Structures are given as C-alpha cells and as structure tokens.
Amino acid sequence: MRRLLIATTNRAKLAEYRLILRNVGIELELVSIADVGILESPEETGATFLENALIKARFYFEHARIATLADDGGLEIDALGGEPGVRSHRWLGTGGDDSDEALVAEVMRRMKGVEAARRTARIRATLALIHEERGVIREQTAEGAIEGVIGARASAEIRAGFPYRAVLVIPARNCYLGELGDEEEAQIGQRRIAILKLRDELERIAAGRAAG
C-alpha cells in the first residue's frame, strides 16, 4: 500500500483523515510527521490558508520525499470581519494563553450581544497535496467549509486540538460540530469536502503512479 504523509503532529487529525479516506474508498497508508522522524517544522508566514498549506506541504515533501498532504484552516466569523481566520490558532498573540479553553472564551467574549442574524460563521480547511510522478512534481489544492452559526454559549465539551467545534452550531443537525460523532463528522466536515475534490489525484497515488 502506498504511503501518504499527513503533515501534522495531531493524532486526532490523523485519525480523522484515516476515517475520511476509508469512507471514500481510497486505500493509502497514512503516516504522520513523527512516524517519518521529521523534527523540523516550517514557519507559517502565509497571509491565507492556501499559502500556509502550501508552505507546509512543500517543506515536508522535501524532507520526506513521499506524497504529502498538508492543511491549514480555522474559524471565520462574519460579524468579526472573518476573524480569527488565518490566525485561528494564534489569535490571542504571543505570550498569551492560547489554550483551547482560552480560544473558546475569546469567541464568546467578542460575540456577546451580537444578534442571531449576524452570528453566521464557518470552519474552513484548505488542503495542499504534493507528490512526484515519473520525475514531475505535481501540486494540487482544494478547499472545503462547513457552515453554521456561533452558539449563544459554548458547548460543555471542548475536544482537545479542535476548540472551535465547541462554538459552531450546525443548524441542520441542531447541535455543535463537536457534538457529532466521528463517523457523522467525517461525512459532512470541511476536510471531507476538500478531500473529494482531490480524489482523482489521491487515487493516482494509491494506484502507484507516484513515487514513494
């Protein structure tokens, strides 16, 4: 089975990708940064999710020389002009408390008193896939987003590494994104939407036409 490096140290994210690819019928052995022994990491200096996803994908592909998938994404709140956006994981600035709980609390603080009609938001993911095929480096990107609204209060459960799932309510499911089970989330989530757009390229890798 061909390997695909998922450019993350987050085991929960790796597990999510495994579930998504299994559900869409793509057979690849997914490995993490730790699995291939890469200790360095790039500086994410991009002004957009796309730029950061490409920075990570290119960096880890150069180090591992196997097919690599990286993503960047976060929460966009319309009433806050799209914040936290590309700064979703460093919204509170250097030296501050950037824990999951602190990020959730900041959303609630900034959205206090905002009327229901203006609480629209989404969690967006941009994926960058890089692999080598017959000596040619191929790059492809895709984006997915799951739409919702910021709840009047945060969910009681904050899943480690995924703070914003505790504030985004999915109206069609009448619950917070973080309250969905793993299987259901893998069926409707932003990463699945993006993965489906990369399906042809991922199947090329799985078929063995890519190096690694």
For all residues of the chain together, what is the average pLDDT?
Answer: 93
163 pLDDT more than 60: yes
The mean pLDDT value for 101-129 works out to 97
From the candidates 35, 72, 98, 200, give the one annotated as an active-site residue: 72
209 pLDDT more than 70: no
Q: How many CB atoms lie within 10 A of CB 117?
A: 8
What pLDDT sits at residue 93?
75
211 pLDDT more than 60: no
Structure tokens belonging to residue 39: 């200790």
Would you say 102 and 111 are in contact if contact means Cβ atoms under 8 Å apart?
no
What tens digit of pLDDT does each residue of 28-70 get?
A: 999 999 999 999 999 999 999 999 999 999 999 999 999 999 9
User: Domain-by-domain residue ranges, the chain?
Assistant: 3-206
210 pLDDT more than 70: no
CATH topology of domain 3-206: Maf protein (3.90.950)
Query: Is 72 marked active-site?
Result: yes
Distances (CA, A) of 119 to 100, 152, 167: 20, 9, 11
Please state at what angle helix 199-206 crosses helix 190-197, rounded to 10 degrees.
70
108 pLDDT more than 70: yes
161: left (phi over 0), alpha (psi -120 to 50) or beta: left
CA distance 75 to 85: 5
Angle at 68 between CA 64 and CA 74, to 5 degrees: 125
Q: Closest Cα partner for 164 from 189, 183, 127, 143?
A: 189
Least confidently predicted of 36-50, 51-65, 85-99, 111-125: 85-99
The mean pLDDT value for 146-158 works out to 96
